[in-house]
Amino acid sequence: MSANHCGDLNLAKEIISAAKSTGADAVKIQTYTADTLTLDCRSEIFKIKGTLWDGKYLYDLYKEACTPWEWQRELKEYADSIGIPLFSTPFDASAADFLEELNVPMYKIASFEAFDYNLIRYVASKQKPMIISTGVSTIEEMQGAIDACKSEGNNDITLLKCTSAYPSKLSDMNLSTIPDMIRRFGPQGVKIGLSDHSMSLAVPITAVAMGARVIEKHFTLDRSLGGADSGFSLNVSEFSEMVKCVREAEEAIGVPNYSVDMKNRKFARSLFASKDIKKGEVFSPENVRSIRPSDGLHPKYYDSIIGKAASCDIKFGSPLRTEYIEI
């Protein structure tokens, strides 16, 4: 949901309800205040440049975008009442303690906090599943986040491939990183997913095909409502279509399977008499063909049959059998 509630509690509830209707598995909010994230300082270093929020000061953006703490118990209870899990991203220890009081089922660490190992250790100590975005982390920092969780005895870790651009360009997604992350971190029991800020439905579907186990996507009722994150959020119909396609991709991926569909194999090729063949007549390309259906000998025997004699009369259109061939 992020900032798409636009400061309206009822709209926040509508978003939760709509997310449930789309088939989303869970809704994530954020738990911070402007003061826990940054300083109320008007220095140029605190001014945002080159993004969707160009010209704003960090403090002002976070003050506008935060989900008020006084809403969050009510939102959690509402989500519980309609049967969709609600969890959050804590940005400091006090937020984690507050969320524990709400009994959220898991925690998310945002990309820009993903190498604040003290924060990660504290949140991991709550012994809930940990989801960590990696949009600005090096490989070494990703490993550091994993180690921080495990140092607290928390081994339920999911790293999200993330491109921290809002919105993200397709050319910057580099989804091939997902199988590489699976190769690097999977042996440690770490799951890999995608935090997607693109406006594409193809991106999450492709990510699932490449092994992603979690998809995080911003969601809004309607982009025209505004909100700090609306410009890279899917609306209800788009999110519903994404869920449908992801489920179809999951089903289609299945498992490695080399079994043969014998019912359809009926229409494969085999060896047939393409002319009447008399007993003693030699098999040749003129009287033996590999054709459909599959009632005769396997085509692999074609070369070994040619030049041998028929052990009996064989009618045109008869599937060849081993007993029809003189040894």
The percentage of residues in the chain with a pLDDT greater than 70, rounded to a whole number, is 100
Whole-number Å distance between alpha carbons of 232 and 223:
9
Encoded amino acid at 123, one letter: V
Q: Which residues neighbour 162 within 8 Å (Cβ) at sequence distance 6 or greater? A: 111, 133, 134, 135, 194, 195, 196, 197
| pLDDT tens, position by position, 143-192 | 999 999 999 999 999 999 999 888 899 999 999 999 999 999 999 999 99
Q: Give the Cβ contact number of residue 242 at 10 Å.
A: 24
Give the type of residue at 212: A
pLDDT band at 32 (very low <50, low <70, confident <90, very high): very high
The whole-number pLDDT of residue 164 equals 85
* pLDDT(226) > 80: no
Predicted confidence (pLDDT) at residue 6 exceeds the cutoff of 80? yes
How confident is the model over 59-104, as pLDDT tens digits?
Answer: 999 998 899 999 999 999 999 999 999 999 999 999 999 999 999 9
For the chain, the farthest-separated pair of C-alpha atoms sits apart, in whole angstroms, at 102
For residue 283, pLDDT beyond 90: yes
pLDDT of residue 167: 87
pTM value is 0.87
- pLDDT over 90 at 12, yes or no: yes
Q: Is 227's pLDDT higher than 80?
A: no
List the structure tokens of 128: 């809930």
| pLDDT score at 321 | 97
Q: What is the pLDDT of residue 54?
A: 87
The pLDDT of residue 2 is: 86
The whole-number pLDDT of residue 182 equals 98
> Is residue 232 pLDDT above 90, yes or no?
no
Check residue 43 and give its pLDDT: 94
The pLDDT of 205-216, averaged and rounded, is 97
Q: What is the pLDDT of residues 233-263, one digit of tens each?
A: 999 999 999 999 999 999 999 999 999 888 8
CA angle 291–294–299, rounded 5-degree value: 60
Query: Which residues have CB under 8 Å from 249's CB, separation 6+?
Result: 205, 208, 209
Predicted local distance difference test score (pLDDT) of residue 270: 98
Q: Region 181-210: what's the mean pLDDT?
A: 96
Q: What pLDDT is attached to residue 117?
A: 98
